[in-house]
Structure 1
Amino acid sequence: MFAHISAHAEAENEAELWTVLQKAAVAARALSYEGVFVCQTTQKTRAVQIRHLFNGQSEFSRNVVLDGSPREMLSQGGELVIYNARNKDIVIEKRRGQNMFPAVLPVNLDVVKDSYTLQAGNQERIADRQAQTLLLLAKDSLRYSYKFWVDKEFGLLLKSAMFNQQNEILESIAFNQLSLFNTVDLDWFKPNIDRKKNYVMEDESVVSAETRFPVSWDAKILPAGYQKTDQMMRAVAGKPYPVAHVVFSDGMASVSLFVEVLSKRVALKNSQVKVTLIKNGNTSFYANEKNGYLVTAVGEVPEATVVQFANAVVVNNADAAAVRLP
């Protein structure tokens, strides 16, 4: 009886914690705030100035990287434009919207619950604000775990950290300055760049989400908890066929899978298509050749995860032979 009561209490407690995390996901999108956060990885540290506004209907955000080459990111809803100084030019890139700090949590946390458990931590102070800490722990070794610091008053995410099974921190992002505002003025929503430089547009090279890949292939037996969230065909300079790009996610972590045609010369000389597994901080990269196709998986996940994704790809042999390039 007492065990049943204890289990029920634990379930209620975890439900309350998920509610706190849900509020953090919404607050990052529904509040208007400005500040500076610092992103630290095993390779580098950079500071970013952010200003985010929600006017009741749409989100507007401007991020300015304060270290290294000048770089700004302006987003409105799901549209993202990057202004990047490159030599004498200002390169303007248009991309699909991406989850950026502090909006790193999905609004729908149901899929996250399948792969992670949630525990309460201590109360700490971040950017001169009181925060509740939450531990989002991976249920297996196919993803990393996270620690979140959530503002006690407004529910905004103040800090996040990603760590592996050895409890080594792979990445941390934290506000060191933060303030909220309630104006709807958008005079600040524009890039502060050198008007004397040339402008170069580099749109995201998406052909179409409907364009059929020139070969039948499928991804079988995917790593547990990951679901397909996006797919597209990308035009790549020098390649006769678009490259298939499929995105999988467990709600927190995401993996991009690329499949492209190889020429007969490269496919026959297997020594030129090396099996490659690279680990760079919290990002893993794996590439392999399958029936004349190069399969690449990359994501902020453990190495075993990208290997499983690439190995899950099955290419139809008959179709592969029909479209093999010279």
Structure 2
Amino acid sequence: MARATARAASAAARLRFAQGALAVWTAAALTLAASQVLAATPPGTDPHPGDGRGERTVNEWLARMQDASRVRSYVGTFVVSSGNGAMSSARIWHACDGRRQFERIESLSGERRSTFRRDDEVLTFLPQTHTVRRERRESLGEFPEPLKPDESPIPEFYAARRVGSDRVAGFETDVVQVVPKDNLRYGYRIWSEQKTGLMVKQQTLDENGGVLEQAAFSELQINAPVSIERLSQMMAVPAGWRVEKPQAAKTTAAAEGWGLKASVAGFKPMNCYKRPDEGVLQWIFSDGLASVSLFIEDFDRERHVQEGVFASGATHTLTRRVQDWWVTVVGEVPPQTLQAFAAALERRR
């Protein structure tokens, strides 16, 4: 159960708000961290004024991209591809007014589904089963809260520099390289639209610079006339459809009897959730850009038979038995990072 849950959570961590079908907007994990800087930056303000694009710090680059996503409306077709050949796509409508955020995603590949977000409220419509999955973004547990500005580890573990320019979906962009300072995290290459700062393409890179996963707009309209009111109306649940509300009770690892013998450099605990309907505890960590989830459940010798590390694009999954429990560790990080978490996890009561 935890491994299936972990796979779903891993996909959701790469989404801006949806769970499951499509890894839309892989770069969300990056722009989340930028909100640490934006806490003191009014919307629409470039935190590093002037044209010295190559002089911005990693936080300043990310802040500019996050700022653009908060104040810009846009419509586009988004494509996610991984090094193993897997590919998925979706149509995205994003509307905002600087305060409220609305989004709609229509899958263009795989299972038919429509996902809507209104601030922290998320609805996923599954037409084949006439089912709507209603969740709160915080309750998902796969999209960690940003760290406080004075606790941000990003500059300690990442550096950023402008490495050139390019055209993506018809827009002139700055190409920014985000480089990790150790082997516990991946690097990123980001294409940021020059006028607005909006992120239009992102690659996750391995230690040799190879592309593990890519997410990009193939077609994009910035400042598109997307109606918040229309998107809100489309979130109404049709008559006769079943509404599911997954349960996730907020808790702490200590309260559930778990802890780490040693911390993993740069990763701080963000949230912890108990999922009674699945019998799973989820403990979430973040270094400000990458996130890791630990899923813990009772060991079942009939279901939990394969230990090891599994890869899907930039996402790695580690499964291991720990005494009477089964542990699944998932994140868009190198395998050694998951192994460090698994080795540090301990039962304290």
2: distance between equivalents of 1:92 and 1:159? 30
Q: What is the deviation of 1:218?
A: 0.7
Q: How does 1:1-326 map to 2 (within 5 A)?
A: 14-15=55-56, 18-41=59-82, 42-86=84-128, 89-97=129-137, 110-179=152-221, 180-181=223-224, 184-189=227-232, 191=234, 199-206=241-248, 208-210=249-251, 216-237=257-278, 242-262=279-299, 266=301, 274-316=306-348, 319=349
Residue 164 of structure 2 aligns to a residue in which SS?
A: strand
> Which is worse superposed, 76-85 or 296-305?
76-85
SS at structure 2 position matched to 1:141 = coil
> CA 1:202/1:276 → structure 2, altered by over 3 Å: closer, same or farther?
farther
The CA deviation string for residues 175-205 of structure 1, in whole angstroms up to 9 with x for no partner, is 1221123565521445599969x63333223
Aligned-pair CA distance for 1:17: 5.9
Task: Give the partner amino acid of 2:313.
Answer: G
Is the contact between residue 57 and residue 159 of structure 2 (CA under 8 Å) also seen in structure 1? no
Query: Which structure dedicates a bigger proportion of its chain to strand?
Result: 1
For 1:112 and 1:181, the matched residues in 2 are separated by 32
Normalising by structure 1, what TM-score? 0.78
Residue identity opposite 1:27 in structure 2 = A
* Aligned equivalents of 1:223, 1:16: Cα separation in 2: 24
What CA RMSD, in Å, does the superposition of the two structures yield over aligned residues?
3.2
- Unpaired segments ≥5 residues, structure 1: 1-11, 320-326
Contact 1:14 1:119 in 2 (8 A): yes
Bigger relative CO (Cα 8 Å, ≥ 6 apart):
2
The structure-2 alpha-carbon separation of the partners of 1:224 and 1:213, relative to structure 1 and needing over 3 Å to count, comes to closer
- On the 8 A contact 2:253/2:259 being kept in 1, the answer is no
Match of 1:4 in 2: none
Change (3 A) 1:168 1:245: same
Distance 1:253 1:211, change over 3 A: closer
- Greater Cα offset, 133-142 or 293-302: 293-302
Whether contact under 8 Å (1:213, 1:244) holds in the other structure is: no
CA distance in 1, matches of 2:171, 2:145: 20
- Give the whole-Å Cα distance in 1 for the aligned partners of 2:246 and 2:260: 25
Question: Quick one: distance in 1 between partners of 2:199 and 2:76?
Answer: 13
3-state DSSP class of the match of 1:158? strand
Letter of the 1:92 counterpart: V
Aligned residues: 290
Inter-partner Cα distance in structure 2 for 1:205 and 1:189: 24
Q: Percent identity?
A: 25
Distance 1:259-1:186 versus aligned 2 partners, 3 A rule: same
Task: Go from structure 1 to structure 2 and tell me whether the alpha carbon gap of 1:68 and 1:194 turns closer, same or farther (over 3 Å shift).
Answer: farther
- Contact persistence 1:106–1:252 (CA under 8 A): no
Q: CA deviation at 1:131?
A: 0.2
Encode CA deviations 1:128-181: one digit per residue, 9 max, x unaligned: 110001000111111111010001111111111111012221111111221123
